[in-house]
Structure 1
């Protein structure tokens, strides 16, 4: 079986039925064709070149969506058929959000349809023109900031997101109660030090990489408040919310929010500095000097700013639906529209981005001490875990019978689409979500809704979500809080920074032996999705991640069925049943190439004192995990199948996963902007004689063309050495070697990704490592080896060695008693060792009823280590 991808789309035959015809018409491949189709006399026509004094007919269209909305409100109460707002091809530049309420709803059993052409853009951006070279700075250009634009976090050139100027810290820092003391006053002499953000990446401890953060799944960032000499005062409340999270007095180290650590400093440095003029040194970087109202940008090779479309987002919302439980927005559809160029300014404010998980943050003065802590602290706000959600650039509260179909959500600075409290019977189908700073689709919330606030009957189906999140890397393409009867099905999700789909909330109290937070969720389904190349930036997530109570029984609990999930990068699982996850069924999925488990983990059910585990059914999956049938105190594992290779997966499950035949066009729908790929991140190294080894987190945004190779540059002793590694080889091994280096010299390494469209920006440099002989000590033996056999294969499990000798582990060697030697490489081999996460490999080609011995040894930069052996007999 070829590895499915967004470029192959399973290579399923494209049916030429009515659904495909409808999709083609919706996209308006004939440009104005969809716009020019006849409609009823009550329809409204809009073009960017119309006139708002016109009546809005096809012959005399209006110019703005605001005027179109006025006409819709006049006509809606008297509908005798659906009313369509025909939006012509072109860019509609919004000066304020399209704000909807109940008056914008359908009536008399009919709908309001905002119909784009497939080339219709609702934009919150402002064009930047008037570029001039900056004297004394070859290659750097500046332009006046658009009038009225005082702040933004993104800049796009010809539809490509460019990188804010960033780089390593120029000083070392020592944390204080209000910020840091710097080793020198360098930052005090920088332009606008109050614009600077400190970014704290997190993840597995790996290869000469020191990380800080609020959990392996987060990437918080806090602005600087001010700098005076060597005193760096961080912005409040971000600093306190990120460094003073309350710890249980009787549980050392356990924060009351129970999700992660309480202090992002932990004696470590910020990972890098973002948004500083002084770091503007590479093509593709930019900076907005707010005080001088000037934009700076260093063009990429071949870019001519005289003719480029340079956009800066000004609005924070493009569509703002403000329904209420008593007066919801209902019977409205948005079709064939691209939503683009909106930002989100809260992270630039003193609130910063104090992340909890999935883009939820702690906010407000003393939020760290009270927000969402409910019964666990005096004055805690309820319910437990009610933290602050990312806003959507397209946001609807209390929307019923809504539809988003054939749309594109791209070039956005918050979450893409937010269906908040009270979302009911709403469909998100055939859409593309890419190049979004945070979450893709947000469904419901975590504030314990009731009555009209309950989210139910939402369908997120047949969408393509890829190349996100771009800024807040803990975001998730589809995140669903407390809800009922929701369906997340037939989506393709790929090249994403963290988990693919996240459902549920409020399970963390099991960490202190308390029951998960009761909630209204039940009858939610996550089925037939194709998820691959995920967790490219962060760790401790999954292809499908669920936590908290999902229903009242296995009958109405969450169903995770028919999904195909493969090629995970960071530490995690294919299907992650996390804290308090109760009444979930995981059945009929194809799961492979995960970091350390296909389905996990098991947690005690603290709703009673019986000592059982959270009820879970794991049945009929095709996986590499190989667990035997059994009942582990309520976690039932039965009828699963050992997957010996991807090609052995049932063709029916594989063919059904991902977008359905009538929607395959979403995998190939063009989104403007083609460029060299985004920079890789988190480069780690170690060295031996004459060379060094490097690993990194791959590129999330390929920008229109698949990667072909990575380019490594080792700099040290006044010299540079360059090496390349094919992208496919790096995917297989997880590391690269840079030979030809000088012993005794310290080197830093940067990595750039290359595609047919060029070589992208280089990563931030690794920490320095000195080349030379590391010694000769090899790794100790792995531990905990076990073999789970079938008739013709075995699933081998082991725990990495505690002591690895003089270098980290780069792989393993399996020796089979039938004479085979099998090398084990991959990212899991690198990241499993420092965190003691188990390894799994399937060995196929065995004979039934035969005894086999498997010997496993860790491989390091100095050789093969001590072995551990396990013997089993096939069935």
Structure 2
């Protein structure tokens, strides 16, 4: 066993009495079967913590893990801002240690980016941006960014402003290239249905907000101009009296990847908090042209998809990029993240990428994430996401789901609580043999539309036996219109939706989509509204309609309610 302490010394032997100081020193000393005990404190990384196959078979564990004496261990990619100047308006300014952050935290709490709504501003789109018969935008300094919420009902894009020019009568807003031209092409639809987005629509015609100018600052917000941070605290948010040097406890995330493991086997982290990382791609001239889930257009070909029965057409990216994980595991096997916290992160919290097998996230918390929570990608086999609390995700990129599985085989997502999500809760794209069981999913779809608490899209196998199973889940409070508790979409096939409770949603499930569902069975579910007649390819059998107030008294519904959600974690190993 080796010991590590932020106050230790890498020249020592790594014993309890003379611990190492850094994770890197412990990594290089440890071999298969080694336990690395992490003592309390914040380990501030100046570079990504990298692990390769040579670092397999090691357990990194918070000292006292699983006992009342467990120590608080934080691995941080952030830099604490210590040198401030203060203006007469109460705004504190500081030189940044690196690229301008997209997030900021004060005493561990998220500071909102300064923003103003653009609803009602008479913007007229031009090939390069906008004009407005008003001189107000002339005061916008800083690295201003436009937000396009609802560019499609399920999308929210972001483009930088390159320049603001004009006078008191008229302003010209030039948008960054190539993002704006790409956004103009991508966010174009002709929809002939009843619901959000109906008609011909150019998403860039209606930016919903402008962010990141000192002109937008209010108490409790920040903005950046180049390498200068502008921060106006709330009273009590680390705000110091005028006689002191400025706020304390303010952390700017610097690293984009906290941990990158490639080809590692049998790796374990227990009881560790991973925090304070960012993702800077949206700040580039390419912007963030979100399409669906964690996916965004990154400059490839665009195609027009025409719906059946003349319902309309949308433009889609042929090959989406995806928001990366701040913790990234590539081609890894037997990785276990247990009893950990993933907080204050600027991309996707944890991503398993490539043909790994047997990885697991257990008994952990994912919260305060700018993008998605947990992602399992193409080629993965036998991964487990069990007994976690995933909430307050998608804080900046509102299309990001709490849990996403795509192109994977035999994934189990069980006994998690997923809540406080702006779009889909659990997303299962095309794959094979995914089981979504006994999860409690609530208060999803809080910002964007056309989604669900649990969303399944595309073929899920070549038979019911190899397909997806959604069983024993409780899905409630899918709160906004044009959303469903459980949403099987876009040609979903070989899906069994069995013994779930769905209530307090716009509608419990949807049966008619395009492309149509194929061999999707809804059986023995309890929901609070009749979903209608089953079209070809869909089976409805043994489902019950009950008011939410009657669920607890119904034996079948009550059993499902009590079995869903998180359970008490098993006792951890000692030693």
Partner of 1:485: 410
Q: C-alpha displacement at 1:465, in angstroms?
A: 0.9
Larger Rg: 1
Partner of 1:455: 380
Instruction: Return the match for 2:134 from 184, 193, 205.
Output: 184
| 2:539 matches 1:636 | yes
Instruction: Return the match for 2:521 from 617, 620, 631.
Output: 617
Partner of 2:562: 655
Partner of 1:196: 144
Q: CA 1:200–1:631 in structure 2 vs 1: closer, same or farther (change >3 Å)?
A: closer
Q: C-alpha displacement at 1:535, in angstroms?
A: 1.3
Q: CA 1:176–1:605 in structure 2 vs 1: closer, same or farther (change >3 Å)?
A: closer
Partner of 1:311: 251
Partner of 1:95: 46
Q: C-alpha displacement at 1:104, in angstroms?
A: 1.4
Q: CA 1:401–1:622 in structure 2 vs 1: closer, same or farther (change >3 Å)?
A: same
Decide whether the 8 Å contact of 1:241 with 1:363 is kept in 2. Answer: no
Q: C-alpha displacement at 1:183, in angstroms?
A: 2.0
Partner of 2:280: 345
Q: C-alpha displacement at 1:53, in angstroms?
A: 1.2
Decide whether the 8 Å contact of 1:485 with 1:524 is kept in 2. Answer: yes
Task: State how far apart, in whole Å, the 2-side matches of 1:300 and 1:264 are.
Answer: 39
Decide whether the 8 Å contact of 2:301 with 2:319 is kept in 1. Answer: no
Unaligned 5+ segments in structure 1 are 1-42, 107-111, 203-212, 374-382, 446-453, 506-520, 607-612, 666-875
Higher-strand-fraction structure: 2
Decide whether the 8 Å contact of 2:428 with 2:457 is kept in 1. Answer: yes
Q: CA 1:524–1:348 in structure 2 vs 1: closer, same or farther (change >3 Å)?
A: same
Q: C-alpha displacement at 1:130, in angstroms?
A: 3.0
Partner of 1:167: 116
Aligned 1:536-685 pairs, distance under 5 A: 536-571=446-481, 572-595=483-506, 597-603=507-513, 613-626=517-530, 632-644=535-547, 645-649=550-554, 650-662=557-569
Instruction: Return the match for 1:526 from 433, 436, 452.
Output: 436
Q: CA 1:527–1:231 in structure 2 vs 1: closer, same or farther (change >3 Å)?
A: same
Instruction: Return the match for 2:230 from 285, 292, 296.
Output: 296
Partner of 1:65: 23
Task: State how far apart, in whole Å, the 1-side matches of 2:304 and 2:409 are.
Answer: 25
Structure 1 SS opposite 2:279:
coil
Task: State how far apart, in whole Å, the 1-side matches of 2:515 and 2:434 are.
Answer: 21
Q: C-alpha displacement at 1:631, in angstroms?
A: 5.9
Decide whether the 8 Å contact of 2:415 with 2:564 is kept in 1. Answer: yes
Q: C-alpha displacement at 1:69, in angstroms?
A: 1.7
CA deviations 1:67-118 (Å, max 9, x no partner) are 222212xxx2xx4xx2111111100000001012212112xxxxx1111245
Task: State how far apart, in whole Å, the 2-side matches of 1:576 and 1:638 are.
Answer: 17
| 2:75 matches 1:122 | yes
Partner of 1:270: 207
Decide whether the 8 Å contact of 2:148 with 2:203 is kept in 1. Answer: no
Question: How well do the aligned residues superpose, as a CA RMSD in angstroms?
Answer: 2.7
Structure 1 SS opposite 2:509:
strand
Decide whether the 8 Å contact of 2:332 with 2:355 is kept in 1. Answer: yes
Name which of structure 1's ranges 229-238 and 349-358 shifts more when overlaid on structure 2: 229-238
Tell me the TM-score normalised to structure 2 length: 0.88
Instruction: Return the match for 1:466 from 376, 391, 401.
Output: 391
Decide whether the 8 Å contact of 1:421 with 1:444 is kept in 2. Answer: yes
Q: CA 1:476–1:116 in structure 2 vs 1: closer, same or farther (change >3 Å)?
A: same
Structure 2 SS opposite 1:662:
coil
Structure 2 SS opposite 1:331:
coil
Structure 2 SS opposite 1:60:
coil
Structure 2 SS opposite 1:615:
strand
Structure 1 SS opposite 2:333:
strand
Decide whether the 8 Å contact of 2:191 with 2:200 is kept in 1. Answer: no
CA deviations 1:681-712 (Å, max 9, x no partner) are xxxxxxxxxxxxxxxxxxxxxxxxxxxxxxxx
Decide whether the 8 Å contact of 2:488 with 2:511 is kept in 1. Answer: yes
Task: State how far apart, in whole Å, the 1-side matches of 2:154 and 2:253 are.
Answer: 28
Q: C-alpha displacement at 1:592, in angstroms?
A: 0.5
| 2:84 matches 1:131 | yes
Instruction: Return the match for 1:497 from 407, 422, 429.
Output: 422
Decide whether the 8 Å contact of 2:458 with 2:489 is kept in 1. Answer: yes
Instruction: Return the match for 1:235 from 156, 176, 180.
Output: 176
Partner of 1:369: 302
Q: C-alpha displacement at 1:350, in angstroms?
A: 1.0
Partner of 1:401: 334
Tell me the TM-score normalised to structure 1 length: 0.58
CA deviations 1:598-617 (Å, max 9, x no partner) are 121334667xxxxxx51111
Q: CA 1:155–1:605 in structure 2 vs 1: closer, same or farther (change >3 Å)?
A: closer
Task: State how far apart, in whole Å, the 2-side matches of 1:385 and 1:622 are.
Answer: 38
Q: CA 1:263–1:166 in structure 2 vs 1: closer, same or farther (change >3 Å)?
A: farther
Task: State how far apart, in whole Å, the 2-side matches of 1:220 and 1:561 are.
Answer: 34
Runs of 4+ in 1 over 6 A off after TM superposition: 259-264, 370-373
